[in-house]
């Protein structure tokens, strides 16, 4: 597609790809809100496909507090997550960090289980894109559609999800310079966003870490 063809496209549909934190959501929010529908893959994941596991995780923690446990068991209170496009903390908290449970980490098997759930959720959210392109126009009256995809979509092993994006959107990859890449990595360590890691990659990097730290 040429520049002019894109400009002449009456109902534009774009997918943004790039490292977590590269600025996909910032760019999406910079577009005119009156005719661009912002579809956030992470928001869809948190409010539909991982909503119940997220709530179950929160309730498990709440049930350890007697005061809250009694109120929950008597249906005196309810718990809801507040995932928004700008607040993905409930999703990130559910995915957790691999490490010592006594320090707030997750055992390896549980971490991998949650990673698998996230992979399924991310693929499902991307397969929803075609329907949401139509909904954005027919229900809400938006001419253009922007898919703000998750930072780990390139790791998905789901051809149907990727083909949906290829068939229905123009895919733009936001590439970063090496200096910015290092900054994004540091930011991801201090404030991680929801990400999926392929199990073979995770196993390889974990083995390297244990060897390097003398823990193997």
Please give the Cα distance from 190 to 10 (Å, whole number): 42
Each residue's pLDDT tens digit, 41-80: 999 999 999 999 999 999 999 999 999 999 999 999 999 8
| Maximum Cα interatomic distance, the chain, rounded to a whole number of Å | 64
DSSP SS3 for 173: strand
Give the chain's mean pLDDT: 92
Report the side by side order of strands in the sheet with 144-148: 36-40, 144-148, 13-18, 170-174
Please give the Cα distance from 194 to 125 (Å, whole number): 14
Pick the closest to residue 25 from 6, 7, 45, 41 (CA basis): 41
Confidence at residue 81, expressed as pLDDT on a 0 to 100 scale: 87
Domain-by-domain residue ranges, the chain?
Answer: 3-212
pLDDT at position 216 over 80: no
Q: How confident is the model at residue 192 (pLDDT cuts 50, 70, 90)?
A: confident
Each residue's pLDDT tens digit, 2-29: 889 989 999 999 999 988 888 888 899 9
Q: Which fold has domain 3-212?
A: Rossmann fold (3.40.50)
Assess contact for 46 and 90: CB atoms under 8 A: yes
pLDDT at position 160 over 90: yes
pLDDT at position 36 over 90: yes
Listed ranges 63-72, 144-153, 187-196; the one with the highest mean pLDDT:
63-72
Confidence at residue 14, expressed as pLDDT on a 0 to 100 scale: 97
Confidence at residue 2, expressed as pLDDT on a 0 to 100 scale: 86
Please give the Cα distance from 72 to 133 (Å, whole number): 39
Chain Cα centroid distance, residue 1: 28
């Amino acid at each position: 597609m040429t520049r002019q063809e894109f400009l002449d496209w009456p109902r534009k549909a774009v997918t943004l790809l790039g490292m977590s934190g590269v600025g996909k959501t910032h760019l999406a929010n910079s577009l005119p809100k009156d005719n661009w529908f912002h579809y956030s893959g992470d928001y869809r994941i948190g409010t539909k496909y991982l909503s119940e596991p997220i709530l179950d995780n929160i309730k498990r923690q709440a049930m350890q507090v007697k005061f809250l446990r009694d109120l929950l068991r008597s249906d005196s209170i309810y718990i809801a997550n507040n995932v928004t496009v700008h607040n993905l903390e409930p999703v990130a908290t559910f995915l957790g960090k691999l490490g010592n449970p006594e320090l707030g980490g997750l055992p390896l098997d549980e971490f991998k289980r949650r990673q698998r759930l996230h992979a399924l959720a991310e693929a499902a959210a991307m397969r929803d894109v075609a329907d949401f392109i139509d909904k954005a126009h027919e229900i809400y009256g938006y001419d253009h559609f922007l898919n703000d995809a998750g930072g780990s979509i390139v790791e998905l092993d789901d051809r149907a999800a990727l083909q949906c994006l290829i068939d229905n959107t123009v895919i733009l990859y936001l590439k970063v310079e090496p200096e910015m890449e290092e900054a994004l990595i540091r930011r991801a360590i201090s404030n991680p966003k929801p990400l999926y890691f392929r199990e073979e990659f995770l196993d390889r990097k974990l083995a390297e870490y244990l060897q390097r730290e003398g823990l193997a």
